[in-house]
Amino acid sequence: MNKFEKFSFDGDRTAYPNKKADGSLDIDLSSHKYIKVWQGPNHPGITGNMAVELTVCGDEVVEAKTHVGYLHRGFEKLMERRRYIQNCPLVCRVSVPEPDYNEFNYSTCVENLAGISVPDKALWLRTLALEMARLQGYLMWIGGAAGTLGFGTVGQWSNYLRDLVLDRFEELTGGRIYHIYILIGGVRNDIPVGFKQRMLDNLREIEGFMKDIRKVLFDNYVFKKRTIGLGIIEPEWIYPYGIVGPNARAAGSLNDVRKDYPYGKYSELDFEVKTSKQSDIYARAYLRYEELLTDIDLIKQILDKMPDGGEFMANIPNVFNLEIPAGETYVRSECTRGEYGYYMVSDGSGFPRRVNVRGPSYTHAVALLERMLINANIADVAQIMVSLHTYPPEIER
């Protein structure tokens, strides 16, 4: 029996569509058995604009189709017409809530191709910026996920907590949302005087709130009732559907780029990869909650281990005339949604020949979501979508 069938409200399945010879569903809209419902492009299920075209029979979704393109700005094309350094302020726009992973992947691709080695202090500062980005990304997600189910207060708390992290980002980089902090060869600034103590104060406050969030959200009957056993990702779907990050780890996978392909200073940090077996919406949410607490611990470790002083930018000649030999490379990092990668091809001309962004949402929000929504109840669509933690700009780049 299909696992989703237990969520079907209608026992009489004679009204449901038959399959045609090619495997597609035989949906005759003129039969008045089905209704087309557009979820989106503006709705609480997704951070950003994306629509899902649902075909509904009664309360149950029989077909789902993802529509993207509302945020397309042609980043990959724009990058081909700019010098390498000119792309640094552009790449962060690919993923608005977590721009730092774009900056890191892009800069590391260029460094790999050009053979630039990054100073040790810059690696620490990069790791700090990436963990801060992860922390505020998870805080934003918890608020969104709670808001989808009517827990608006949790959303207000988590937005306040995210603002604390953004304050520290503003202090470190000068920007709250877009930081343009990680550049080719290193980072833009060292940490300011007194930053460590202010960051630790913020982390203490966030930890205190997380205990409340656990009680209000994760121990709440309504939240459990509407998330446990729903939106299950089968472990055997992980590789066929390219599932990564917490979505895969909640299904039992242990894949984490920070452990498997250490970058920055992760090899010198002590942390465990969180995993779960239940693989439903609750398991994914709780895994993110646990990872958020791990991030707090990692930031403390980074601040303790980071050396004082030292160069934070490699000695590079004129950045407008960087000599990048012809070649290609791929760089990955672990963002809140999973493996985030940049594939770069250089032809030696001073401009990238091609940059391709591999965002986790590309597979999660299209093929996987379309599969997961089949047989779901229409009232559960929003939380299934939000449980995948999707950012549409990285689908359409």
Partner 1 sequence: MFQKIIEKINLKYPIDVVSKKSDKLMFLTVHKNTAVNTVQYLKDDLGFKHLVLLTAVDFLEQGKFQLTYLLNNPDIKIDIGVRVLIERESATMESAHSLWPTIATYQRELREMFGIDFPDSPGVNDEFILEGWNNTPPYRRDFDTKAFAANFYHQRNSRENNDPSAHMKKNLYPNE
- CA gap 198, 146 in Å, rounded: 28
Residue 236: CB partners within 8 Å, gap ≥ 6? none
Buried b (16+ CB within 10 A) or exposed e, 230-263: bbbbeeebbeebbbbbbbbbbbebebbbbeeeeb
Nearer to partner 1, 131 or 396 (CB): 396
Nearest to 319 by CA among 187, 185, 173: 185
Nearer to partner 1, 156 or 356 (CB): 356
* Site membership for partner 1, residue 353 (CB under 8 A): yes
Nearest to 73 by CA among 60, 98, 90: 90
Binding mask 170-199 toward partner 1 (x if CB under 8 A, else -) reads: ------------------------------
Q: Which stretch binds partner 1 (CB under 8 A): 208-216, 263-271, 307-315, 353-361?
A: 353-361
* Site membership for partner 1, residue 234 (CB under 8 A): no
Minimum distance, C-beta of residue 264 to partner 1, in the bound complex (Å): 16
- CA gap 146, 359 in Å, rounded: 24
- CA gap 395, 358 in Å, rounded: 8
Question: Tokens 């591999």, residue?
Answer: 358
Q: Which stretch binds partner 1 (CB under 8 A): 34-42, 76-84, 132-140, 227-235?
A: 76-84
- Residues linked to residue 352 through DSSP beta bridges, in sequence order: 346
Among 6, 20, 36, 81, binds partner 1 (CB under 8 A): 81
Nearer to partner 1, 37 or 367 (CB): 367
Q: Which amino acid is at 313?
A: M
CB 26 within 8 A of CB 371: no
* Site membership for partner 1, residue 86 (CB under 8 A): no
Among 260, 268, 272, 323, binds partner 1 (CB under 8 A): 260
Contact set for partner 1, span 108-127 (CB under 8 A): 112
SS (H, E, C) 288-318: HHHHHHHHHHHHHHHHHHCCCCCCCECCCCC
Among 362, 376, 381, 394, binds partner 1 (CB under 8 A): 362
Minimum distance, C-beta of residue 152 to partner 1, in the bound complex (Å): 33
Among 98, 111, 280, 339, binds partner 1 (CB under 8 A): 339
Q: Which stretch binds partner 1 (CB under 8 A): 75-83, 123-131, 143-151, 221-229?
A: 75-83
Nearer to partner 1, 69 or 89 (CB): 69
HSE value, Cβ hemisphere, 13 Å, CA-based, for 17:
26
* Binding footprint of partner 1 on the chain (CB under 8 A): 68-69, 72, 74, 76-78, 80-81, 112, 239-242, 255, 260-261, 327-330, 332, 339, 341, 343, 345, 353-354, 356, 358, 362-363, 366-368, 371, 396
